[in-house]
Structure 1
């Protein structure tokens, strides 16, 4: 059979389209790093790789020549260009275009992969890295449109316009040069950051160690200092009172007052807004009353409070001194926007040539700003004796702005090592007087290399949140790495920036394990932030009530300034939807992998589900730990994905294969939590190499119901392994487990035991067949234990069961079949949210499973009934029971269920009658 692809014989339809988009904000199933995931359908283009489409490769490389230089899987520069020429599928091409577009926007991204969706020919998973998620998404969308246009040109698609729109959008959302410099320094020190808005408000660090910045303003910048720096009159008064050189200055609200003030101060003068910035509204070297009047109107327009300053004009060059933490870190000479005549071009043409410099952009988007030829610039050129259409002589400097601000098109010359020590001392003293941790001191003096007290000169302004780009990207001279002292100020060498993150996942038991770990840390005095399916808990207070097991909730915990330890319950859905939401976790705990949520979001097998859960194991660093269940083969296999160390735990006896597996690793210095059977009961033991440390008897841990709830024994062992890996002492771990119980206060909806009129009611969230198996085994052991001492005679078991409607039909039947082995009476209900099914449909499938089990000899269940409403089903189950019986309620809304049980108890105590206990073997119509 020929393997050659057909060549097109006619027009090819531009069929490439995006079916689905996802943004992963942390580690995910595709990558350790944040990624964009697009599912793309090639349509008929599946039959046309790149080399079969006439003109496609040449057209693409003409528009984006940088694509050809990508290394791709070839591992050398130009590898993707070779793939294009040989023929590669267009989903793969879209990946590389998206990466190149981000590089064109200044985002250096090189990570990507494209894989066909299993069982869907022509549909591909296209995954690539991003710096800003908005830019990353736009790049993927534009890549698809470009490919379709190259195949069949569309008059409505103009590449140059679309490309420029994309770049402008990327520039609007990008961090400015100052913020970017600080973040680059933070990343180099492994300090995590979270962007708090679409601008430059950023959190560095996590939890209790977090610091915030907004551009170059930091958490340590005093509000009063910022107010003083914004009030130029107050600034000059304070500096003058300290004996620092400052110009004469007065403040006015009226034009007439400004003119009179200028006369008193003496011409030439400067007129500027009291609370302006970036040099806006500043008039320099004003020599007459009329010039002051004209400048006053402009300055007042830029003043938020309507006040205008008139001060003496200091002759000299403009210098910006950057002070961080009280010390001078950089000095730049600021040269106003200008052009240099070449004897051939007009002033207009010289401006255009200067603005063509790729370093120049709009505003602060690039290291230099484009020069504007507005009315003020044209007037300034006229004052120098030229019109914009004149050709100035060769080497003639033509100023287009009076101030040297970078934001008006000025340039900078580094003078950091040229300044005289006296001038440095004056600048540092000025920052201390104002109280700023990061300050920009504006000096006007003839020469920064000479003492200003001798040559003349003054401090004209002190700026809060000074820009860094004149220092990090000087037009002339060496760049200064000024972000380092700023980060040193926030995180002194040796200080911490991360809180310990413990991530817990698995099919069953992850919520209880998370709560146990949190309880152990709480007993050590730590303030714990925890996410779970019940909500976000900060220091034992439920701050948000919802399913909070996703990445957004994780980021909320890491933003809270009280959190010292973060415990993250990580669900499969959150990983598939957005990734982890953080870059790494110090400890990963995986409880088990069982059939649940299969058939959803492309997860059809246990192996695929294990791949999703293993993301938290892959997020463990080299100095971290994974706590893995050695009894589960899918969890055991995750050891190969862990960069750090592994702590094993197992319920199996000493002569089992699982224990032999653990013992082999202990001989090499490994860690484990195991059970040792003795005549007095089962003892949880922590092992580290040859050391063996007894932790606790299982029957003395309240959560294990006298050792009968083996799943909670396993959860306690996992929690102990995580705490031991985190460095918690043996005594603290023991105390935490001994004081943790399954009361509704500590563990709502998880094995809550409530006595209702002599009936033992167990409230639990169990909702799948594997969970029902272990819950049923507990019911067997617990019922046998009760029967040995019961005064009530026969003990019957009644179970209320249900699961989510988005599970597979077979999963619902399996739940019914499993429950049939453990309960005498089963009441089937439904969740309030039906998740796509019709009312009664889920209950009918579960009932089918129960009835299938009833057809088999020896099955325990005798009666199965349907009561769809959860609260009604609770009442029905309690009415079915006699004192001494066991009722297990598998709930959806645990708060409503517990409230109803309390109401039944109170009604019984008040003697109000109501539903009397009945015979559980009696068939009662559910109505």
Structure 2
């Protein structure tokens, strides 16, 4: 057996896609949207391209555009060199997916292929996309093509599949008019969001947003659109304004049409009152029989049954495009036609014309294919030919009478040739109707001569006119008409983006986000905020769920009231879909701690840091990254940020970290630092050589007199972010002084309530680093309570839990940490077990508590009460007045409702019937409970 036969016997076409993911913003792979395919090569891992006979030749034959790919070589043909030298098929699939998208006009060139760590034969295939449905389809077809080249599948027809792929791409693409506007917007750094699968697009963000649908804009008057759609009313208004228009009137019956035609004089035109795209328009009718026949065609296209009969104005057909009151372009529209070559039939000439790659179906391409219908055949017959006749060379055969592009016509640019008087007439017509973007249809012998002298008229005014006859004229220079559209929507110098502050980290994200939003609310900004509690618009909770992902961010950017956004960015959202927006002006990274390890391929804290670093990487050159100098993993992110860095640190003077931060400031940088003294701890803002005192930590309500160091750190990060975003020192100081951790400003985060003489703290701490910081607060608060107690020592009771998707070791360590700070530990469980059996998580945590107790930890007793509310009641029941109770919550609304019920029972005349109605409280914030965190974010539409 030959070598090639041996190879063929061993290899099999088993490249397959294990998973696919669409990133809709900066992500762990790239700073722009990308698609990730995890592929498995199977036995093909042992067969690079140079070992598969005919593979390279077959691939280049089907997709010759691959010859232009540079790949890692940096020059044209680099990818072909890689194929010939031998590269793996996952890498080939990446390039094929990019080339397939280029075939439908999506110029995508970015991609990379990386092996899945620790798994032989599996690869991450990453490539850019423009439309996600097309991008995913490209990846799937790429894999099928690669497998077919390894061993041909008789059921796989690449040409047919490729044609279906192109059709899908053309259907998903924006039309030429919409695409022209979007391209101009992107060139000016104006962001856009596609709002549906058609042409509805938002340009800009928040309060600056404008919408377009094709060439209709947010500024387009609906009254003007209604007027333009009523052709009789349009001509009446234009005539009353002294503009040249044909005589016309609408009728509902054919006999009335004939009588009207005889009164105004032949030849006439009949057309539907409310038609568009030239459908149902019959020109140059010279007798009653022609009017009757034309009336039937027009009546079929009329939505309300009215047909216009008007004077037929002879001349050429011109479309004058008026944008914001000024002429932007003028095109001469030539009806669909063919030119005889002396050898081909009319039908053959039509087929040759439709073969032009610029022609497509409807508006999918810059030209439309000519449609041969009964009307076209009849028109050809009127010119003395049948479809199978051969017209003489140079003979022009019309297939339609109207020059609409949608019926197969062509366009000739006449923008620079029009007479100034005709331009003035067109501009006045748009003003009379009231359209911001209008297509004025002129019939005139010559647009270079005044129509009032040569004879001509405005026959129609169109709302939402198409741009493709101007942007892609068949003859002449293209006109860049998207520029005046964007100038109208976003005048030069006007903003299109709202400031975005993104906050990430293992702990403290929610509180820091709330602090930042509170600061800017005090300035008067309408802040849209996302967090694990929901979407908040101007301090109003509009959606209650875990909203720390990209879809919620997009929801905020679509809200027309929002003039500033503060996003809490969680690890899960970044891994699932990326950031969901293009960039953030300020990116805050608080800390990176070992949490959520073992999920979605994140096994180490260093890998987790790479995920969090996406927020810093999304900072532009003129933006700021606010980084925690005390965390080495966060500190290292400064090298991944294109913008400037603002440090915040708790380090004391003389330490290496503090000296490094001070050196950064001496070079003109910014930082927020903490100075300790006998009077207390002072937060100061440093910029260059200026040092500005911000606030004493013990005077900030959120810090509990300086005891809650986690909130001291959060306040410093919030101050740094607000300062970077342009807030004044006074506004920052006032915001932090008025922000407290009461339930209404910071639900579930260090909420302190007094229940029958007991100090109860409700917090969300659910991982080891968070509980360690909470434990420090417990120690300081407990010491203060000991001094105030007549007995000299109060009991510390902790109710703790964690999510079921943590590692067993993490759960045991949580118990060990809790045992160091509490006298009694009550272990509960979340409602959502995340794959664990009931009681399993609690047993692991309790085991950690017992292990620490055996080593001499503070804890003297551990109990398991699985239900959250029952655990809360148990903690209250076993405590005494003066004790400190800390409840680490899952459903904070229910817990706060339960605690509030104790206060109500203490009122005179109140009864407590075994907690039978504990949720029936007066405050709706306690009654409405948050959706569990594992619930997927709600769809936007």
TM-score normalised over the length of structure 2: 0.96
Corresponding residue number in structure 2 for 1:576:
575
- 8 Å Cα contact 1:874/1:889 also seen in 2: yes
Determine helix, strand or coil for the equivalent of 2:384.
Answer: coil
Kept after mapping to 1: 8 A contact 2:785/2:793: no
Quick one: distance in 1 between partners of 2:688 and 2:257? 83
Q: Which residue of 2 aligns with 1:514?
A: 513
User: What is the match of residue 623 of structure 1?
Assistant: 622
Q: How does 1:828-867 map to 2 (within 5 A)?
A: 828-857=827-856, 859-867=857-865
SS at structure 2 position matched to 1:607: helix
Partner of 2:503: 504
Q: Which residue of the partner structure matches residue 868 of structure 2? A: 870
Residue 454 of structure 1 corresponds to which residue in structure 2? 453
Deviation at 1:790, TM superposition (A): 2.7
Deviations 1:344-401 (A, max 9, x none): 1111111111111111111111111111111111111111100110000000000011
Q: Deviations over 1:753-784 (max 9, x none)?
A: 01111111111110000000000001001111
What does the per-residue CA deviation read over 1:629-668, in whole Å, with 9 as the maximum and x for residues that have no partner? 0000000000001111111001111122210110121111
Residue 741 of structure 2: aligned partner = 742
Is the CA contact (8 Å cut-off) linking 1:6 and 1:48 kept in structure 2? Answer: no
The 1-side partners of 2:642 and 2:4 are apart by: 42
- What is aligned with 2:939? none
Are the counterparts in 1 of residues 4 and 53 from structure 2 also a CA contact under 8 Å? Answer: no
- Contact 1:762–1:889 (Cα < 8 Å) also in 2: yes
CA distance in 1 between counterparts of 2:698 and 2:240 reads 75
Partner of 2:920: none
Instruction: Report the equivalent of 1:716.
Output: 715
Q: CA deviation at 1:735?
A: 0.1
Partner of 2:691: 692
Query: C-alpha offsets along residues 559-578 of structure 1, whole Å, 9 cap, x if unaligned?
Result: 00100110000000000000
1:239 counterpart = 2:238: yes
Aligned to 2:150: 151
Cα distance, 1:155 vs structure 2: 2.0
In the alignment, which residue of structure 1 is the partner of 2:804?
Answer: 805
Structure 1 residues 496 and 905, CA, compared in 2 at 3 Å: closer, same or farther?
Answer: same
Q: CA RMSD in A?
A: 1.3
Query: How many correspondences in the alignment?
Result: 912
**In structure 2, C-alpha distance between the alignment counterparts of 1:880 and 1:156, rounded to whole Å:** 73
> 1:347·1:388 contact (CA, 8 Å) conserved in 2?
yes
Preserved CA contact (<8 Å) 1:317 1:445: yes
1:678: how far off? 1.3
Partner of 1:898: 896
Note the 1:906-925 alignment, pairs <5 A. Answer: 906-909=904-907, 910=909, 912=911
Offset, 1:236 = 0.3
Q: Shift of the alpha carbon at 1:789?
A: 2.1
Partner of 1:493: 492
Q: Tell me how far apart the structure 1 counterparts of residues 311 and 829 of structure 2 sit (CA, whole Å).
A: 81
**Equivalent residue, structure 2, for 1:387:** 386
- Provide the C-alpha distance between the structure 2 equivalents of 1:379 and 1:9, rounded to a whole number of angstroms: 61
> In the TM superposition, what are the counterparts of 1:517-556 in structure 2 within 5 Å?
517-556=516-555
- Tell me the alpha carbon deviations over residues 727-772 of structure 1, each in whole angstroms, 9 at most, x when there is no partner: 1111000000000000000000000001111111111110000000
Structure-2 separation of matches of 1:5 and 1:543 = 65
Q: CA deviation at 1:691?
A: 0.4
Aligned to 2:53: 54
How far the C-alpha of 1:11 sits from its partner, in A, is 5.5
Superposed counterparts of 1:315-714, under 5 Å: 315-714=314-713
Higher mean Cα deviation, 491-500 or 63-72?
63-72
Q: Which residue is equivalent to 2:277?
A: 278
CA distance in 2, matches of 1:385, 1:139: 49
How many Å separate the matches in 1 of 2:296 and 2:817? 84
8 Å CA contact 2:215, 2:465 repeated in 1: yes
- What CA distance in whole angstroms lies between the structure 2 residues aligned with 1:812 and 1:8? 51
Partner Cα distance (1:581, 1:344) in 2: 58
- Distance in 1 between residues matched to 2:519 and 2:851, nearest whole Å: 44
| Matched position secondary structure for 1:85 | helix
State the Cα distance separating 1:915 from its structure 2 match: 8.1
CA distance in 2, matches of 1:356, 1:52: 40
Correspondence for 1:920: none
In structure 1, what is the Cα distance between the partners aligned to 2:380 and 2:851?
94
Deviation at 1:791, TM superposition (A): 3.9
Write the distance in 2 (CA, Å) between the matches of 1:334 and 1:791: 96
Please give the alpha-carbon distance, in whole angstroms, between the structure 1 residues aligned to 2:597 and 2:692: 40
User: CA separation in 2, counterparts of 1:124 and 1:627?
Assistant: 34
User: Secondary structure at the residue paired with 2:9?
Assistant: coil
Deviations 1:542-599 (A, max 9, x none): 0000000000000000000100110000000000000001110000000000010001
Whole-Å Cα distance in 1 between the matches of residues 790 and 274 of structure 2? 84
Task: Give runs of aligned pairs for residues 16-165 of structure 1, distance below 5 A.
Answer: 16-165=15-164
Map of 2:923 onto structure 1: none
CA distance in 2, matches of 1:728, 1:383: 75
Instruction: State the shift of 1:846 in Å.
Output: 0.9
The separation in 1 between residues aligned to 2:337 and 2:893, in whole angstroms, is 71
Matching of residues 204-353 of structure 1 within 5 Å: 204-353=203-352
Q: Secondary structure at the match of 1:821?
A: helix
SS of 1:820's equivalent in the other structure is: helix
Instruction: Report SS of the residue matched to 1:330.
Output: strand
CA distance in 1, matches of 2:765, 2:588: 20
**CA distance in 2: counterparts of 1:298 and 1:811, whole angstroms:** 77
* Cα pair 1:551 1:578 within 8 Å, conserved: yes
Distance 1:507 1:211 in 2: 36
Give how far 1:794 is off: 2.5
> d(CA) in 1 for partners of 2:789 and 2:496?
57
Question: Counterparts of 1:770-785 in structure 2 under 5 Å?
Answer: 770-785=769-784
Instruction: Report SS of the residue matched to 1:746.
Output: coil
Q: Is the 8 A contact 2:333 2:412 kept in 1?
A: yes
3-state SS of paired residue (1:321): strand
* Contact 1:337–1:404 (CA under 8 A) maintained in structure 2: yes
Q: Does residue 1:196 correspond to 2:191, yes or no?
A: no
Range with bigger deviation, 534-543 or 65-74 = 65-74
Partner SS state of residue 614, structure 1: helix
Structure 1 position 786, deviation (Å): 2.1
Distance 1:616 1:5, change over 3 A: farther
8 Å Cα contact 1:769-1:811 kept in structure 2: yes
Offset at 1:845?
1.0
Deviation, 1:908, is 3.4
Ranges in structure 2 where 5+ consecutive residues have no aligned partner: 916-941
2-structure distance, mates of 1:78, 1:270:
59
Distance in 1, matches of 2:906 and 2:767, equals 33
872, 883, 886: which is aligned to 2:884? 886
Query: How much does 1:408 deviate?
Result: 0.6
Counterpart for residue 937 of structure 2: none
CA distance in 1, matches of 2:44, 2:496: 49
Shift of 1:5: 13
How far 1:912 sits from its partner (Å)?
3.5
Q: Which residue of 1 aligns with 2:764?
A: 765
Report SS of the residue matched to 1:267. Answer: coil
Cα distance in 2 between the residues matched to 1:831 and 1:234: 67
Cα distance in 1, alignment partners of residues 748 and 418 from structure 2: 69
How far is 1:307 from its partner?
A: 1.1
Aligned equivalents of 1:260, 1:772: Cα separation in 2? 90
Deviation at 1:254, TM superposition (A): 1.5
Question: In the TM superposition, what is the alpha-carbon distance from 1:827 to its structure 2 partner?
Answer: 0.8
Query: Which whole-Å CA distance do the structure 2 matches of 1:532 and 1:520 have between them?
Result: 16
